[in-house]
Structure 1
Amino acid sequence: MVWTPALTKRFLDRARRHRLYAQYHLIAFRGLRRGESCGLRWADLDLTQGTAAIWWQITQIGTDTFEDKPKTAAGEATISLDSATIKELRAHKARQNTERLAAGDAWTETGYVFTTPTGEPVDPNDVTEQFEQLSMEAGLPPVRLHDLRHGAATFLLAAGYDMKVVQETLRLSSIAIASDIYTSVLPQLARQSAEDAAAIVLNAVPHPPRQPGGNATGRQT
């Protein structure tokens, strides 16, 4: 199940008050996997150029966490960031600096983008639990955190981009995988495109008919 754009916005509006809002924003807008967002470092970001290099992920098994490479070779890539996401990441960096000052000697400098209040990388399971809590508080139908990633792909398709763009943005190993996962949403999008095309005609303002030997207002020329 994937939330509609309106439901996704409702979640983000609720999550905005949380200290890790930028992490959920990044997943929803750019389709990072949970572990990839947890493994992101400030050194991987270029907020001036608007890019994020995805080189690592943090995986959690039980209570143990470890860092490794992304799920597939295709997962290692540099993605573009939209202006709204860049703005949120800048705000998050300022918030993290405030937490660093408040923590004092208790702060551990790890270089991660998303951390605990003392600088340690966040546990992926904690990110999921907080997502579920925020979703419930927003009164939303239950979905997995991973479904925010699927939502990002669906929104790209709805915006008119093809499967190749979805494959590259989500860093899937092949376009066939993108098609296998997201073909189910295409009939709905095709119906919407038909409605949009029909609306161009139905909502058009007709011009006055031309009179024989005159212009559209009936005056002789």
Structure 2
Amino acid sequence: MTRTAGELLEATTVRLAPDPGANPLLPLIASGTAGRGVLAALALEQRLVIAADLRSFRHLAGRSAVEEPTCAPFFEMLAEGEAVAAGRLGAFAEACGADGERTAAYEPLPGCQAYPSYVARLALGAAPADVVLALSANFASWGGYCATISRALRDHYGFTDEARAFFDFCAESAPELEERARAAVQAGLDTGRISEKRARTYGRLLQSYEAMFWTTPARP
């Protein structure tokens, strides 16, 4: 029996769920033992990720409008979300001491920038429906990470609501985005344009690159 989009999304998310130890930075922040310098690096790396992903999602939205129109609303909403996130990240960076001079002198960490580089690669040539499935599975753990970080920033670091707004925004549930993902995946299934195998490969690599993002700043 052919699976529905909802069933495929759920199965793929479960299959690609990250190992509990894949994010060594999270427990350090959650316990308040991560230094301010580590938080500053997180802010500066995330700023670069957002800028890159925003361009990738806009490109995917444009490609989808021509190749797979049902996927376009998903990527459009992702791009809109990245723009909002970018606006809220500044207060976090400022609270971490990542001022203009530090930002200008900062050298990005390769392990943190592998993820957006791969998203850009997918944006250039992957089938949009496959990317929807892969990204949806990858996003499943992101909100939980951000909720944990926001609580820790309040309880252990004394950050204001404004300084935590980026993480609060990313921790919010997104039922409309989930609905757009289901519509895109269902259209891909109906037209035979989606490949579970390809999407799982994309998702597995995305999870690996995200693990690198969190592991790199946690290194001594």
Common topology (TM > 0.5): no
* Higher relative contact order, structure no. (Cα contacts within 8 Å, ≥ 6 residues apart): 2
TM-score of the two chains, using structure 2 as the length reference: 0.30
Max Rg structure: 1
TM-score of the two chains, using structure 1 as the length reference: 0.30
Higher helix share: 2
